[in-house]
Structure formats: C-alpha cells, structure tokens
C-alpha cells in the first residue's frame, strides 16, 4: 500500500470516528434543549392550572386544556407526592396512532382533597425538528468529510510530489552509467536534505562501483598472466628427464595448486562481476536447448564414466540472461551432475516450460542442503573443486529473476530452476 493511501485511510477512519462522536453529541444537545423548552412550557401551564383552581375553587373541563393533555385524579393523602417529567405514548382518537408526549406530573389540593395532575405536551413537532436537524447535520458532516478527504488527497499529492519524483529518479539511476544522480531542490527542507544526502550517496556508490570494476578488470588480467606463466613453466619442468621422483611429485603438486588458484581467481572475479551487474546485454535463451548442447559436448566424459543421459521432457524454458552467464550456468550444472555421479549412473534432464530439472544419481548428501549454495562449500574432499560452482549458479539466478532449488529423493539429486514469482 502506498504511503498516501495509508495516510488517507487512517485520516478517513479518524475523521469518521470524530464526526460520529460530534454528531451524537450534537444530537444529544439538541434533544436536551428541546426537552428543556417543552418542560418550561409545561411549568407555565401548571401555573395557569393553579391560577384557574384559585379562581374557581373547583376543577371542571376547560377549553383551555385540550383533550388528552390533562388528567386530574384524586389520590390518597398518604400517597407520595413527587413532581416528575416522563415520556409517554397516547393514542390519537382520529387516526388511532400512538403519539409521543412529554408529561409533567404534580399534586394540587382541590377543595381539601389532593389531586394528581398530569399535563402533557405533544413531542411530534419536536421530533420532526430533531429529524430535520439530524438529517441536515448528517448531510453537512458528510459533505464536509468528503470535501476534507478530497482536499487532503490533493494537498498530500502536491506536498509529496518531490518525494515521488526523487523515488522515480532513483529507480532509473544506473551505477554503471557515467551520469551522476540528478535530484531537484524542493522548497520543503526535509525533502531538500533527503535529496542532498541521496545525491552524495549516489556519487559515492558510483565511485566505489568504478573502483571495484577497475579492480576486478585489473585482477582478471594481471593475476591470470603470472598464473598462466607458472603453469607453462611447470609443464616444461614436468617434461624434463632430469627430475627425480620426489622433485616430480613436488612439481606436480605445484602445478595442481596453480591450476586451482587460476580457477579460484576466475570464479571469484565472475561472482564479483555478477554482484556488480557488469553483465548488461540480456538475450532470450532457451536453457533446455543449451543444456542439451552442453551434454552433447560432454559426451566423451559421460561415456568414460558410463553415465546414461535421459531427456524425459524437452519443453522450451526461455529466460533473459547474458549469453556468457547462461553458458556459465549450464556448465556448472552439468559439471556438478557429472562430478558427483558414480559409474553406471544416470543423468536426467526435464522441462515443462515453467521449470527446468537436472538430476543425477549419486551418494547420499553428507552436509546440510541449505548450505549447498554457500561459497567454498564442497561435498567431499576432491581437490579438483574450488567450491564455487553452485554459488555461481545461485548468484546468477538471484540477479536475473530466477530461483534454484535442490531436492534429494531415492538416490536422485535434482536441481530445479524456475522463475521467481512476481511481487507487487
């Protein structure tokens, strides 16, 4: 959820709560005021009634008091005589409907006998007034809420425009480009300070990227050259007839160590280039076809180790990858499947268009499956492996929208490559 949407959602919920509380409070205030007005009129009518009694000494029906608006009944002298205001319903004689009244009950002596007098006043007009006031209040508060919400959205969008503009430029920012990160200087101090910090950070990141790129390029060239020279000289020494058996064994160890160092250097430099996203030319590549071709190229090795290859499904599995990384991906997958297979073993390739599997028979896994893709993690003690093959596969998948999973079932070791699910 976007920041503005979340802010507006919270503001709307808070406003609704406040407006609801204010509406209920306003309704209660209007109701209390109307009841006070009605009760005040009932007290005035009581004074009129008492004045009538003092003048005539007796009570009789009077046109002043309309039907159903007054009751005068004698009561016992010992009955409690407490004045009270109550709400009551009285049936209308014309349409036989119950109508609300506010009733004032008090006690008056008439010719020496205490009478309970109940004076009523209709609340129909008061209720109608309250309904009109309530409807008007709801409409006004609703319009005020909608107007405020609309204005808040427009104002927030305008105020946060510099932030979203900065976010858009950061998304388009490319470390490999020579163009520095260009950000505006908005009027709002916080956004201006944020842009300044991001601009300095971008310059530093570009500088670090260029330095690291230059280092990897230099290391790739400068280290490989002496290693190649060492290997060449050692090969010449191995072919020499003047070496003793011990010297030959030492030179063989040196030769194997220099070759391992060369592979280790190549693997680490490749990982650094992948992490820095120095491979930018993506192509649509069918990994199923590429793996099949790689297996054909390794046919002699497969025959030598007596490994049978089975392609159960060959649906195209197309991905966006730089050709060099795609070749490195399938090479490491095939090398791993062959290296950890056994004589008279099997190798299986399958693809359904959404996932790609490469499985091989082999010994049970010794280490934890979660650690297979760690750097320098080797299964076994073979000196031929530098422990970077699966790490390179994982790094390529992570940086190019793919995911790799490992599964071991019934003596089969399967690596599954699939596309990462799209997230919002």
Domain range holding 121? 3-157
Among 275, 303, 331, the domain-final residue is 275
Residues 261 and 306 in one domain: no
State yes or no: pLDDT of 168 exceeds 80. Answer: yes
Domain contains 181 = no
Q: What is the mean pLDDT of the chain?
A: 81
What proportion of the chain, given as a percentage, has pLDDT over 70? 92
Domain contains 83 = yes
Is residue 422 very low, low, confident or very high in pLDDT (cuts 50, 70, 90)? low
Torsion (CA) 243, 247, 252, 258 in degrees, nearest 10: -110
Among 115, 139, 157, the domain-final residue is 157
In sequence order, the 6+-apart residues with CB closer than 8 A to the CB of 254 are 230, 234
Candidate ranges 61-65, 146-150, 257-261, 348-352; pick with highest mean pLDDT:
348-352
Domain contains 320 = yes
Phi, psi of 168 (to 5 degrees): -65, -40
Residues 128 and 39 in one domain: yes
State yes or no: pLDDT of 177 exceeds 80. Answer: no
State yes or no: pLDDT of 299 exceeds 60. Answer: yes
Q: Indicate the range of 59-68, 154-163, 165-174 predicted with least confidence.
A: 59-68
Among 247, 275, 303, the domain-final residue is 275
Residues 204, 212: Cα–Cα separation, whole Å: 12
Is residue 112 very low, low, confident or very high in pLDDT (cuts 50, 70, 90)? confident
Number of domains in the chain: 3
- CA 45 to the chain's CA centroid: 68
Residues 200 and 224 in one domain: yes
Order of strands across the sheet with 84-91?
Answer: 70-74, 113-122, 98-110, 84-91
Domain contains 175 = no
State yes or no: pLDDT of 423 exceeds 80. Answer: no
Q: Tell me the mean pLDDT in the region 275-304.
A: 85
Q: Which residue has the tokens 């506010």?
A: 102
Is residue 67 very low, low, confident or very high in pLDDT (cuts 50, 70, 90)? very low
The DSSP letter of residue 424 is -
Per residue, the 3-state secondary structure of 189-257, as one string, reads HHHHHHHHHHHHHHHHHHHHHHHHHHHHHHHHHHHHHHHHHHHHHHHHHHCCCCCCHHHHHHHHHHHHH
Q: Tell me the mean pLDDT in the region 347-367.
A: 85
Residues 219 and 142 in one domain: no
């Amino acid at each position: 959820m976007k920041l503005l949407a979340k802010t507006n959602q919270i503001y709307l919920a808070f406003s609704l709560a406040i407006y609801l509380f204010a509406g209920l409070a306003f309704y209660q205030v209007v109701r209390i005021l109307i009841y006070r007005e009605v009760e005040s009129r009932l007290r005035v009518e009581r004074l009129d009634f008492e004045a009538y009694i003092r003048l005539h000494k007796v009570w009789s029906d009077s046109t002043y008091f309309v039907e159903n608006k007054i009751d005068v009944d004698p009561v016992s002298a010992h009955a409690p005589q407490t004045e009270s205001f109550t709400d009551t319903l009285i049936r209308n004689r014309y349409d036989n409907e119950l109508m609300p009244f506010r009733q004032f009950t008090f006690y008056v002596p008439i010719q020496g006998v205490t009478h309970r007098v109940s004076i009523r006043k209709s609340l129909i007009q008061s209720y109608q007034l309250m309904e009109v006031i309530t409807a008007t209040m709801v409409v006004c508060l609703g319009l005020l809420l909608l107007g405020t919400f609309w204005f808040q959205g427009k104002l927030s969008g305008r105020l946060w425009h510099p932030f979203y503009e900065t976010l858009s430029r950061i998304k388009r920012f490319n470390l490999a480009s020579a163009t520095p990160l260009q950000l505006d200087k908005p009027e709002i101090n916080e956004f201006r300070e944020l842009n300044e910090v991001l601009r300095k950070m971008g310059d530093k990141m570009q500088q670090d990227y260029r330095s690291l790129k230059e280092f990897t390029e230099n290391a790739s060239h400068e280290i490989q050259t002496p290693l190649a020279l060492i290997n060449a000289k050692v090969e010449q020494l191995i072919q020499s007839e003047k070496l003793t058996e011990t010297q030959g064994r030492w030179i063989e160890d040196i030769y194997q160590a220099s070759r391992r160092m060369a592979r280790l250097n190549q693997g680490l430099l490749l990982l650094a280039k992948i992490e820095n996203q120095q491979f930018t030319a993506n192509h649509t590549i069918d990994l199923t076809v590429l793996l099949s071709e790689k297996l054909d190229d390794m046919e002699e090795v497969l025959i030598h180790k007596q490994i049978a290859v089975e392609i159960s499904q060959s649906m195209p599995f197309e991905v966006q990858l730089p050709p060099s990384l795609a070749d490195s991906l399938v090479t490491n997958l095939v090398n791993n499947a062959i290296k950890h297979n056994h004589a008279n073993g099997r190798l299986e390739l399958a693809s359904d268009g959404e996932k790609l599997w490469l499985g091989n028979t082999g010994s049970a896994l010794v280490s934890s499956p979660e650690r297979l893709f760690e750097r320098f993690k080797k299964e076994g003690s073979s000196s031929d492996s530098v422990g970077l093959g699966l790490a390179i596969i994982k790094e390529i998948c992570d940086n190019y929208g793919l995911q790799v999973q490992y599964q071991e079932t019934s003596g089969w070791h399967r690596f599954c490559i699939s596309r990462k699910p799209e997230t919002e």
